[in-house]
Amino acid sequence: MKHLILAILLSVAAAIGFAAEQVDLFQPITPETDLKTFAWQNRLIVIFANSKEDVSFQTQIDFLKIDPAALSERQIVVLTDPDPDMQSFLRQKFRPRGFTLLLIGKDGQVKLRKPFPWDVRALSRAIDKMPMRRQEIKAKK
C-alpha cells in the first residue's frame, strides 16, 4: 500500500512539474522583453506574425504544442509577437515581414530564420547539430 501511495504522489508531482514547465514554455513579447535575460540559459524560438489569426502563426504554435518535452529538453523558450503595432524592441531589431520564425542560440545569435512554420522534429535536428548542444549531449552520457 505504501508503494502505491508513493507512486501516486510521484505521478502527481511529475504532472504538476510538467504543467509548470509548459506554462513557462510560451511567453509573449512585451516592450520590456530583453534577450539578455535568456543568454546562456535558454535557446529561443521567436515567432512574429501580423496577427494571432495568421495561419502560419497558428500552425507554428500547434507544431510546438505537440512535443513540449523535446523543447524543454533543449532548454527552449518560445517568444511570440503577433502584434506589429506594439513595435517591440525585438520586432525593430529583427524586422520581420509577415510570419517569421527565428531560432536564437544560448549565445544570443540568430541560428535560423524561416518565413514558414517548422515542426519540432526539424527544429530539434537543427539544434542538435549545434556545437553547444552536442557538448550538452556528450556531458549527459
The CATH number assigned to the domain holding 29 equals: 3.40.30.10
pTM summary value? 0.81
Structural domain harbouring 36? 24-140
Indicate whether 79 pLDDT > 60: yes
What is the C-alpha separation between 100 and 95, in angstroms, rounded? Answer: 9
The answer to whether residue 46 is domain-embedded is yes
Q: Is 54 contained in some domain?
A: yes
Residue 2 lies in a domain: no
pLDDT tens readout for residues 86-105: 889 999 999 999 999 999 99
- Tell me if 14 is assigned to some domain: no
Which residue carries 511567453 as its cell?
27
How many structural domains comprise the chain? 1
CB atoms under 10 Å from CB of 80, counted, come to: 19
Examine residue 17 and state whether it is found in any structural domain, yes or no. no
Owner of C-alpha cell 511570440:
80
Residue 43 domain-assigned (yes or no): yes
Q: Is residue 67 in some structural domain?
A: yes
Tell me how far apart the 2 most distant CA atoms of the chain are, in Å.
60
Q: Where is pLDDT greater, at 5 or 82?
A: 82
